[in-house]
């Protein structure tokens, strides 16, 4: 039993030492979870959720569609079977042509074609063989939205164009910093924004960050028309929370979200301290157990000698009688 207990304690101690080594020697912070740095080549990587993704279903092909150039505003979807959706970013007033084309391998013949914006039916302006298109003049935000081409015959085929303001990229994972440090958040978009605004969440409202009144706390730098950067100095726990950046375009605006977590300096050391404390407890337990076992062993040996001596004396006395 003593050896079994000692072996268990030693095994537990070895396991804790290995755990302590991994805690102290591992990567101190996941790069995807720390303060954004200006030297990052890929900043604010985030999964793009474009309109129509949530309701598309597993069999809908969704793509991000861009014109070949500023003058090229013609977008085409070729239909063969499954529904297709395409996202189109529109930053400023422009003319757009949307083309719905039947694929050469499609068995659908002479379909009935309908164009819709939401629930409103739109007549197509141009028709060629197996191709139907509409021409739009986008001059205000109300003209953005989803335009769907429906081909009905033996079966139904659909193609949907989602016209929207360019997306602004935030950060999916929290930005983790420490008290007294500087937090850096970088917001990006693929199109030139007319203006940028940063907000901090105040309860349920968004409060614009005023760098003029708080020059020692915030700094906003517009690196280009596509990139804006917010720095927060001398962090305290009061600074943690949700921040938003907003890019303004001619046809509207889009926002991106950041979550800021501010930790104390001792926070990364807590797992290591816990391991050290348990190691100390185990070492103390092993030492006390060994001391107790040795003392018990010595005491037990004396008692055994006394019993053997008494038995020997009784045997001698019995023989003498």
pLDDT digit string (tens) for 181-206? 999 999 999 999 999 999 999 888 89
pLDDT 10s digits, 242-285: 999 999 999 999 999 999 999 987 655 566 666 666 777 777 77
pLDDT 10s digits, 16-46: 555 555 544 444 444 334 444 433 333 333 3
pLDDT band at 57 (very low <50, low <70, confident <90, very high): very low
pLDDT of residue 28: 41
pLDDT 10s digits, 123-167: 777 788 888 999 999 999 999 999 999 999 888 999 999 999 999
- DSSP state string for 8-60: HHHHHHHHHHHHHHHHHHS-SS-GGGB---TT-SS-S------TTHHHH-TT-
Percent of the chain with pLDDT over 90: 41
Phi, psi of 180 (to 5 degrees): 90, -15
pLDDT of residue 72: 56
Terminal-residue alpha carbon distance, the chain? 45
Distance CA 263, CA 176 (A): 7
Judged against a pLDDT cut of 90, whether residue 213 lies above it is answered with: no
């Amino acid at each position: 039993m003593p050896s079994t207990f000692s072996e268990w304690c030693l095994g537990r101690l070895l396991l804790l030492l290995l755990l302590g080594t991994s805690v102290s020697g591992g990567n101190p912070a996941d790069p995807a979870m720390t303060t954004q740095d200006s030297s990052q080549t890929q900043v604010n990587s985030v999964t793009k959720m474009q309109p129509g993704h949530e309701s598309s279903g597993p069999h809908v092909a969704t793509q991000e569609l861009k014109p070949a150039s500023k003058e090229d505003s013609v977008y085409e979807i070729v239909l063969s079977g499954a529904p297709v959706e395409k996202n189109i970013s529109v930053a400023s007033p422009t003319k757009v042509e949307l083309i719905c084309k039947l694929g050469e391998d499609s068995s659908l013949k002479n379909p009935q074609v309908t164009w819709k914006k939401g629930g409103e039916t739109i007549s197509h302006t141009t028709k060629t063989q197996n191709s139907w298109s509409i021409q739009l003049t986008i001059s205000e935000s109300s003209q953005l939205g989803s335009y769907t081409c429906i081909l009905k015959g033996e079966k139904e085929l659909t193609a949907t164009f989602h016209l929207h303001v360019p997306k602004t990229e935030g950060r999916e994972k929290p930005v983790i910093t420490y008290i007294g440090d500087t937090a850096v958040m970088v917001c990006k978009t693929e199109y030139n924004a007319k203006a940028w605004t940063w907000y901090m969440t105040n309860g349920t409202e968004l409060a614009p960050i005023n760098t003029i009144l708080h020059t020692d706390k915030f700094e906003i730098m517009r690196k280009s028309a596509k990139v804006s950067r917010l720095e927060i100095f001398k962090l305290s726990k009061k600074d943690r929370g949700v921040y938003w950046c907003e890019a303004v375009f001619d046809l509207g605006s889009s926002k991106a979200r950041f979550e800021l977590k501010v930790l104390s300096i001792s926070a990364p050391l807590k797992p290591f301290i816990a391991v050290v404390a348990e190691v100390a407890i185990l070492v103390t337990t092993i030492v006390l157990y060994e001391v107790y076992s040795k003392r018990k062993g010595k005491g037990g040996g004396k008692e055994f000698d006394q019993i053997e001596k008494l038995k020997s004396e009784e045997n001698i006395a019995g023989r003498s009688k």
